[in-house]
Amino acid sequence: MLQDLLAGRTQLTFTTIGVLDPLRKAGKLRVLAVTSGKRFPTWPEVPTISETLRDYVNIVGIGILVAPSATPADIVQRLNREIDRIHKEPEVMQRFLALGMTSSGAGTPQSIAEFMRAERENWDKMLTGVNVQPQ
């Protein structure tokens, strides 16, 4: 898709910051907006889509570590605490930024479950609104 964009065969695309950053720095592409709720820390001049389209529902990539449902709660809690601690280390935060990512921490198992429920609901509404049927 980026080759088609660079060749002028397509007019725009959605992709990740990490992929776009070198092309942006080289002046080969113009970034119009980011899909997150806040401006990206290393691209403060690039607006969010919701700054222009007020009803826009933010789309963000997320990485979730999951374990089998039979994993003991104390193990889940320990993993959660350690991952949260690691995500907050300055070196890790800097590496995330260099890759075009940010982290708001690990959250809690409960907050992740709620996030996943809400995302499922949002996508169901969006797909129903454009009449996409599962196949």
Residues 124 and 66 in one domain: yes
Q: Are residues 90 and 112 in the same domain?
A: yes
- 36-63: average pLDDT: 85
Residue with tokens 């002028």: 8
Express each pLDDT in 50-72 by its tens digit: 898 887 777 777 788 888 989 99
What pLDDT sits at residue 80?
Answer: 92
> In this structure, are 85 and 126 located in the same domain?
yes
Averaged pLDDT score across all residues of the chain: 87
Q: Are residues 10 and 21 in the same domain?
A: yes
Burial status of residue 106 (CB atoms within 10 A of its CB: 0-12, 13-18, 19 or more): buried
> 71 and 9, same structural domain?
no
With 0.85 as the threshold, say if the pTM is over it.
Answer: no
Give the structural domain span for 66: 62-135
CATH number, residue 38: 3.40.190.10
Question: What is the per-residue pLDDT for 135?
Answer: 67
Q: How many domains does the chain have?
A: 2
Do 48 and 111 fall into the same domain? Answer: no
Shared domain check, 47 and 30: yes
Rounded (10°) CA dihedral 19, 23, 24, 26: 150
Each residue of 76-97: pLDDT tens digit? 999 999 999 998 999 999 998 8
